[in-house]
Structure 1
Amino acid sequence: MKPILLPIFLLLLFSCQQHSEEAIQATKEVHLLDDIPAFTQDSLVQVVIEIPTGTHEKWEVNKNTGQLEWQKINADSSRVIDYLAYPANYGFVPQTLVAEETGGDGDPVDIFVLGPAVARGSILEVRIIGMVRMLDSGEEDSKLIGIDTKSNILNVKSIEGLSTGYPGVLEILRLWLENYKGRGKVELGTLLEMEYAVEYLKMAVENYQKELAEKT
């Protein structure tokens, strides 16, 4: 790396880390899973970003505390993806549950958000355009695909539109998902359009509400 570029790179890296820390700090008083509605009044979806575009650290929400935590492998180490960095912002939709009773992993709905990289802990308003079906160790772990409302590709409104307007994006996502845990670890299914993704999301909201009612 050229000498003049190194300070700029370090400054950008520090700035990104600082913004992530600020975003996480700003949500300390909020239970990110329970306190934020899945849908806005404008029928957009709210998403909490766990992993920004271009990073490798595997963070996730703690379902008890509602805070983001770096996923532990054991007491001495935390998980880092042993593959190329995340190709898009990655997070979850609050107040959702992919129920184990229906073959899910017991976690909230996962989602890739296309758009500029944002800080970890950011809460975005997102328009869903579709989903990719996926099984991880035999459990339902499908991924929604959405567009950040601040993205410059906001005009994309469907999987077909993304494929036509931005060739290769879906292929990148699928290739990454097929390999980031190692070959053969996950099983990818078909790409589905927005209507199916929204129904999947609504079912996950119902699962969350059902579990909440059983606890109270």
Structure 2
Amino acid sequence: MDLYPDVAAAGGLGAAMAAVAERRRCDIGPVASAAVPVRIGTDRGVVSVGLAAEERLFLIGIHTPGFTWALGSTDDLGRAVEAVAAWRAGVPLVDFEGAFEFMELDEFAPALEAGNPAPLQWSRLLSSDFHADQRSLLNRIHEDDRLRLLFPTITHGVVRLRVDAMDGGSRQFLVRELPGMRYEVMTVGAETDWLEVSAADLIAHLRGLQGEEQE
């Protein structure tokens, strides 16, 4: 612990953070003194604080299932504690980023804070050369004003449409393109196999699945 004499003197990272928080009058919530990295729950995910091995750095990550809000590091434990407290207090992202220059927000974070990440994701996929083979299908789905509200991802050439961008367990629909302007659709988790759908029926079929989710 040569790089972290303050942490060693306090008896661990959690205890050191708690002591700094008390001195600086920061509310970081309950901290388990023995665990490294330290993990602190907030209304916007879990904040983790760990220790770098090669140099004095407190490594900070802010995560929710399937998404990382921000990553950063600082050699100042006090600043790390202040960042944890600010995030836990719900400081708006623009203010958080301005106050803690060592934290880098994910580009989706502002859209998620606003509650509408789908437009940014559609824009990324539609402009990506990597997904050029799926562009026709993506355009077809995106042209529908209801279906573009779904959050799209692509895995192994299959388009996945998720009802809730932040909930990996929310209802999801898979769409893959077949030769001859045909498609196959499947609802994730349903006791059904792939269903072949014609190009003419694709949008209506997906809208029907979306409507089932909304009922």
TM interval, shorter chain, is under 0.3
Q: How high is the TM-score relative to the length of structure 1?
A: 0.22
Structure ranking higher in helix proportion: 2
Which structure would you say has the larger RCO, counting Cα contacts within 8 Å and 6 or more residues apart?
A: 1
Q: How high is the TM-score relative to the length of structure 2?
A: 0.22
Structure with higher Rg: it is: 2
